[in-house]
Structures are given as C-alpha cells and as structure tokens.
C-alpha cells in the first residue's frame, strides 16, 4: 500500500494532531497560551483522510476548530505552536492566535472565527481554480452548526450554480457549540440538504480516515472533472468541549467516555495485532519527541515586537 | 483606442473604467447581480459580457454574502475581482464578509495573504427611493481599518478612481453617486493610472472652506456661485477618497480661510463629517475664526415621497445657509 493510504501513516498524522492539542492544553495550564482554543480531539480522521488525497496546490479553508486541518496539510508545528502561544515565530506572528490562523505556504486559506463564513471564501478559491484551469479544488470544512448559517446556504447555492470545484466537508460532531444539532434542525442527516442545491451529498463514518479518504477522493475527482461541488457529512464526536474551558455540563453522563472507545486512534489500536501495536507505540514516541522539539523552538522565538502592531493593515 | 478625452456621462465613465480593467489586467473578473447578460441594472457593464464572455464577467445569485466572500477567496488566490453591490444599502446584508473577512485578511495573515479586490456600488437618494435604497454608507466603510473608500463626484473621477482601485493591492469600496450617473463631463481616457488617495480643490476661495463629496461636491460648487454674488468667496475641497483621507489638503485650506463647513448627504450623527470636524478641531483650532458647521440629512430614514424627501435631503441651499452662519 502506498504511504498515503497506509494505516501507520494515517495513525501518525492523527497522533500529531492529538499530541499537538494535548500539549497546547498543558501550555495553557502553564499560562503560555492566552485566550481560549477550540480543539478537535476525536475528529482527527476527517482532516487526515481528506488531506491524504489532496494535491499540494489545492486550497483548504477551515473553522476555528482548524488546528488539525493545518497540520494535516503540512503546516510547520513550530509556527503553529508559536502562533497559539502568541509569539513572533507564529505562522501569523501572533496576529491570528488559535482560531484564525492561515498559512499561505501550504494554500491554507485559514480558519474562521465566524461560523460558516469560510464557505463563501472557499467558493472564491474555487473560482480561481476554475479560471486557472489546472484542476485545483477548494476544500472547506465546517461544523454541523454552521449548516444553519445563511452564508453556507448562499455559498453552496452559488458554488452549485457556477459549477465550482469545491468540496464542503461537514464535521458533524453532534453538537452545535453547546446544543445538540438534532434540536436545531428537523432533519436527521445534514447531507440531505445537498439535494436542495442540486449537488451530491453523502453521510459517512468520520472516524475512519480511509472511509473519509475514499469519499473525499470521489468528491475531489468530480470537482477536478469540472462537475461541481459535493457535500460530505462526516459523523464523529468531540472528546472535549466546544472551547478549551468548556466543562460540558450539557452532555449526558458517559457520552464522552463511550465516544472515547471508538475515537479514531483508539479504533486503530483496537484492531491492531501485536506487531502493529508495537509499531504504533514507536510512532507515539517519535511524535512526542517531534512535539517537544517544536515547543522548544516556538518558545525560543521572541514575543512580537510592539512596534509592528500597526504593520500590514494596508499593502 | 477611443479619443483621448471624451465628454461622456458618469455611468459611461464607469463602463470605460471596467472595460479598461478587463483589457489591461488578465486576472480581472467582474460579477454581481444582473451585471453580465442584462448589462448592469444601471448600464455600467453594458456590452462587457458580449465582448469578454462568461469567463470574465458573470451573473451571481442574489446572495451578497456569498459573492463578496467569493471575491475575497478569489483575491487571496490570484484573481482581481470587481464585485458589484447593486445598491449600497445591500452592503449591510454582507457586512460580515466586508468587515470581519475582507478587511482583516492582510493584517491577520501578516501580509502573506492580501485582498486586492474592488466592490463597486452606488449610494444616495433618488426620487421615490425608499429607506432601503437611499443610504450613504461612507461612515460605515471608512470606520473599518483595512478598507479603502472612493467617493467619486465627477465623470472623470469615476473613471480615474475606479482604475486606481483596480490596480491597488488593498480592498477598495467605490461608492458611486446614483444621482450623478447622467451628468456629463470630460473624461481623460488615456490618463496614466493614479495611485489611490488625494483630494482636490475644485474652486479656490478666501473666506470659507467647504469640504463636500459625492453628490454634495457639485452642490457645494453651486452654493459657492450663489455666495459669490453676495461677496462671499468660497473654497471647495473634494476629498475624493475618504480612506486614505487627504487631510493635509483640508488643513491647508482651513488655515487659509479660517472657516470650515462640511457637507454630505448622509445623516449627521456619526457621519464622516464628524470625523473631519474633529480632526480640524484638533489640528487647526488656532486657525479657526468661527465654529465648524456641518450639513447633512437629519437623523431620520429617507422617506419615499418626494415631498418628504425635499425636507430631509441636503441641498445647495443648505450649504448656502451653513456658510452664511459661519461667515456672519
């Protein structure tokens, strides 16, 4: 099997995201991260699965729960740590923080702190891709709650009408911030909304990176062929709160513990034989070392120079 | 190439500016509601779809949020979009994309992404226009760091400032004046492309400075002629751009005349006139021989009935009254 589809490769990429965020929580506890964060624990298979089939020149747009999307696309861990730690070495020099960073070096158009607002922007990248004619696609991730935002409806209709090469990935973690999505809409599966825009919509198990990759490959190939957008609803669960300080009192007792038995990393471990388990243990150790090197490098960068606070407002 | 200088209407000047951009810049695309096949609700894009095709100019659904966001994503990835918001009032439908997305892009990415896009719109009242088709939106736009704002008041400026906006690497809102669309003037079609910014003294005078833009720039000139007959010598300054604002030009004029009147069509509270007045008070206080006066609409929505509009829409007569107050 190629490296892209390899289970160890998928596991490693998911572990890098999990370890990055776990380390950020430590750093936050130690006072090294200002503000709140929105972590993606439990949802890593979606970003990793999609990233595994994308080309480097494809565009990706995410939500404020977007650390995993940047990491899966190859953003430098030191730059990401430094950004969330508000240091000058951050990928945006401390101007964006955890919920709003972007990385032009990997065509990551950025996270977005406004629910649903990234979909129109992703449609614009898809317009560029269409016009440039190189077969690029624009992938945009949103949460289940964002499907109720006007911007998402408008942009999906627009992308469909203009046959733009866009793939919308709905990370359905069953909670729309702090309320159940089922209480916020009368439909059981969000993917059926695709029919209203005249585009394909599928609901898949979002905790399996290979299933995600397969669905994404179909949607991306369709977009590259010039056949327009697809909506993929990837079912998953959040193992953590809406934001880093969220105690999740609104979740039923035992829900998170049960979800933890089936989260993407654990699922691979559950099915692994002894040889694979020892390989995965080695991956964990390698990733832990990589994370520590990145944290040290991020810490070594200065705080942002106050004299630059007014830079980059205009060209 | 058309004759170097032609006498054409303001709306034709806009059309020439758009045509220039499609010819000069390969990455320019134009989109909005009714702009392509119908040729634009006011004719600004007439024949452009015929001549440049759907790759360069196309119609969008009635979805301001979606297509302003699309303009941003396209600008971030190598295109130079010109999006048309049909009436400036409809900008409010898409304020998130304008204020939270477009305006922030360069800053939060530390300059690694930019948003070189133009949003064309037209503003102000017209006969029978209701409260949702009459807003003058300049204060909302100028308040937002990261955006540039053009308020052209003549046909030549409509052409020159649109071209300046298109080549700028910043996001620019060009707020045209609907009431001025039929007005004609000489347009220098082969003039070099200007940088953005820079105001103009449109009439020299010694007694009082009137700063006015958009439709009120012409009203100020009309008022100045009337006042000249009374022996009051009015200097008229058209700032042309409210962001970046050429305040040095305004300050120099105030230092010369010692009096300042600011006239705009928008209502007064929090209007851009208040910003100019505040800066003049801060920077030119010792040069002022009279209190600063502002002309604007009262703080009421714009009524549809012309008989009611006549009461609330500022006119040359209102400028005349304000000037008389400050020179008294």
Across the interface, which of A120, A127, A132 has its CB nearest the CB of B97? A120
* pLDDT tens digits, one per residue of B252-301: 999 999 999 999 999 999 999 999 999 999 999 999 999 999 999 999 99
Last residue of a domain, one of B188, B217, B234: B188
Q: Is A170 among the domain residues?
A: yes
Whether the CB-CB separation of A127 and A138 falls below 8 Å is answered with: no
Together in a domain, B182 and B210 = no
Cα of A147 to nearest chain B Cα, Å: 14
pLDDT (0 to 100) of residue B328:
85
Q: Which of B133, B135, B143, B264 is catalytic?
A: B133
How many residues are recorded in chain A?
315
Query: Domain with A265 in it: what CATH number?
Result: 3.40.50.970
Together in a domain, B121 and B162 = yes
Q: Which two tokens stand for residue B313?
A: 């829409």
Quick check: B104 pLDDT over 80? yes
Together in a domain, B242 and B155 = no
Together in a domain, B110 and B65 = yes
Across the interface, which of A93, A109, A114 has its CB nearest the CB of B73? A109
Query: Domain with B78 in it: what CATH number?
Result: 3.40.50.970
Q: What percent of chain B has pLDDT over 70?
A: 99
Quick check: A4 pLDDT over 90? no
Last residue of a domain, one of B157, B188, B219: B188
Q: Is A205 among the domain residues?
A: yes
Together in a domain, B158 and B230 = no
Quick check: A3 pLDDT over 90? no
Q: Which domain holds residue A19?
A: 3-272
Domain count, chain B: 2
Test B69 with A112 for CB contact under 8 angstroms.
no
Whether the CB-CB separation of A156 and B63 falls below 8 Å is answered with: no
Together in a domain, B148 and B215 = no
Q: What percent of chain A has pLDDT over 90?
A: 98
Q: What is the pTM of this model?
A: 0.97
Q: Is B17 among the domain residues?
A: yes
Query: Domain with B214 in it: what CATH number?
Result: 3.40.50.920
Together in a domain, B106 and B142 = yes
Together in a domain, B258 and B319 = yes
Q: Which of B293, B226, B223 is nearest to B261 (CA)?
A: B293
Residue B133 annotated to the active site = yes
Whether the CB-CB separation of A14 and A209 falls below 8 Å is answered with: yes
Cα of B276 to nearest chain A Cα, Å: 21
Q: Is A48 among the domain residues?
A: yes
Quick check: A272 pLDDT over 90? yes
Mean pLDDT of B176-186: 98
The C-alpha atoms of residue A70 and residue A102 are separated, in whole angstroms, by: 8
Q: Which residue of B has its CA nearest to A99?
A: B108
Q: Is A33 among the domain residues?
A: yes
Whether the CB-CB separation of B247 and B280 falls below 8 Å is answered with: no
Q: Which two tokens stand for residue A140?
A: 């945009």
Test A125 with B111 for CB contact under 8 angstroms.
no
A–B interface: beta-carbon pairs under 8 A = 146
Together in a domain, B167 and B284 = no
State ipTM: 0.96
Test A109 with B65 for CB contact under 8 angstroms.
no
Quick check: B310 pLDDT over 60? yes
Together in a domain, B132 and B216 = no
How confident is residue B1, by pLDDT bands cut at 50, 70 and 90? low
Together in a domain, B271 and B225 = yes
* CB contacts, 8 Å: B79 with chain A: 124, 127-128, 131
pLDDT (0 to 100) of residue B51:
98
Quick check: B2 pLDDT over 90? no
pLDDT (0 to 100) of residue A2:
46
* Interface membership of A129 toward B (CB under 8 Å): yes
Q: Which domain holds residue B52?
A: 5-188
Mean pLDDT of A287-299: 98
Across the interface, which of B71, B100, B112 has its CB nearest the CB of A124? B71
* Interface membership of B168 toward A (CB under 8 Å): yes
Domain count, chain A: 1
Q: Is A302 among the domain residues?
A: no
pLDDT (0 to 100) of residue B3:
72
How confident is residue A1, by pLDDT bands cut at 50, 70 and 90? very low
Last residue of a domain, one of B188, B215, B236: B188
Q: Is A300 among the domain residues?
A: no
Mean pLDDT of A179-185: 96
* pLDDT tens digits, one per residue of A117-140: 999 999 999 999 999 999 999 999
Quick check: B55 pLDDT over 80? yes
Mean pLDDT of A226-246: 96
Mean pLDDT of A233-258: 95
* pLDDT tens digits, one per residue of B115-155: 999 999 999 999 999 999 999 999 999 999 999 999 999 99
In the DSSP assignment, the letter for residue B245 is B
Together in a domain, B173 and B35 = yes
* Interface membership of A4 toward B (CB under 8 Å): no
């Amino acid at each position: 099997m190629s490296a892209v589809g390899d289970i160890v490769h998928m596991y490693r990429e998911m572990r890098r995201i999990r370890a990055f965020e776990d380390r950020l929580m430590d750093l936050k506890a130690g006072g090294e991260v200002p503000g709140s964060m929105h972590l993606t624990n439990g949802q890593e298979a979606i970003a990793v699965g999609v990233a595994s089939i994308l080309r480097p020149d494809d565009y990706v747009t995410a939500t404020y729960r977007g650390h995993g999307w940047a990491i899966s696309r190859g953003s430098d861990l030191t730059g990401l740590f430094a950004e969330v730690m508000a240091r000058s070495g951050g990928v945006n020099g401390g101007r964006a923080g955890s919920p709003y960073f972007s990385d032009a070096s990997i065509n990551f158009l950025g996270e977005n702190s406004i629910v649903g607002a990234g979909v129109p922007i992703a449609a614009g990248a898809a317009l560029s891709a269409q016009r440039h004619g190189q077969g690029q696609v624009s992938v945009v991730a949103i949460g289940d709650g964002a499907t109720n935002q006007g911007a998402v409806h408008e942009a999906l209709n627009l992308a469909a009408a203009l046959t733009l090469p866009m793939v919308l990935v709905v990370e359905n973690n069953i909670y729309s911030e702090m309320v159940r999505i089922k209480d916020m809409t009368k439909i059981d599966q969000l993917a059926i909304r695709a029919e209203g825009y005249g585009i394909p919509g599928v609901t898949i198990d979002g905790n399996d990176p290979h299933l995600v990759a397969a669905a994404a490959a179909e949607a991306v190939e369709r977009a590259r062929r010039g056949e327009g957008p697809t909506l993929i609803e990837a079912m998953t669960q959040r193992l953590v709160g809406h934001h880093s300080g969220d105690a999740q009192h609104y979740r039923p007792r035992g829900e998170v513990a049960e979800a933890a038995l089936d989260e993407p990393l654990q699922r691979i471990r559950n099915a692994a034989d002894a040889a694979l388990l020892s390989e995965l243990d080695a991956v964990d150790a390698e990733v832990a070392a990589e994370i520590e090197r990145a944290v040290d490098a991020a810490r070594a960068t200065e705080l942002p120079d106050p004299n630059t606070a007014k830079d980059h407002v205009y060209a | 190439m058309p004759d170097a200088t032609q006498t054409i209407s303001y709306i034709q000047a806009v059309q020439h500016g758009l045509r220039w951009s499609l010819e000069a810049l390969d990455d320019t695309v134009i989109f909005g509601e009714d702009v392509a096949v119908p040729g634009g609700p006011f004719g600004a894009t007439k024949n452009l779809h015929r001549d440049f095709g759907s790759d360069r100019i196309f119609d969008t659904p009635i979805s301001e949020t979606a297509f302003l966001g699309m303009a941003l994503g396209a600008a971030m990835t190598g295109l130079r979009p010109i999006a048309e918001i049909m009436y400036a009032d409809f900008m409010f439908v898409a304020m998130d994309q304008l204020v939270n997305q477009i305006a922030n892009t360069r800053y939060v990415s530390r300059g690694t992404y930019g948003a070189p896009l133009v949003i064309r719109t037209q503003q102000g009242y017209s006969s029978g226009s209701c409260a949702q088709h009459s807003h003058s939106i300049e204060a909302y736009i100028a308040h937002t760091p990261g955006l540039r704002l053009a308020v052209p008041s003549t046909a030549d400026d409509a052409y020159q400032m649109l071209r300046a906006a298109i080549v700028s690497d910043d996001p620019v809102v060009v707020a045209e004046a609907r009431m001025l669309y039929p007005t004609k003037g000489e347009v220098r079609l082969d003039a070099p492309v200007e940088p953005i910014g820079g105001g103009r003294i449109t009439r020299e005078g010694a007694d009082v400075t009137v700063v006015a833009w958009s439709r009120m720039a012409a009203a100020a000139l009309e008022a100045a002629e009337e006042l000249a007959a009374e022996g009051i010598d009015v200097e008229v300054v058209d700032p042309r751009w409210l962001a970046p604002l050429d305040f040095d030009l305004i300050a120099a004029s105030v230092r010369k005349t010692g009096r300042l009147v600011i006239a705009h069509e928008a209502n007064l509270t929090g209007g851009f006139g208040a910003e100019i007045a505040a800066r003049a008070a801060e920077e030119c206080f010792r040069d002022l021989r009279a209190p600063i006066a502002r002309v604007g609409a009262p703080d009421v929505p714009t009524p549809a009935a012309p008989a009611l509009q006549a009461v609330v829409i500022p006119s040359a007569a209102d400028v005349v009254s304000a000037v008389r107050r400050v020179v008294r």
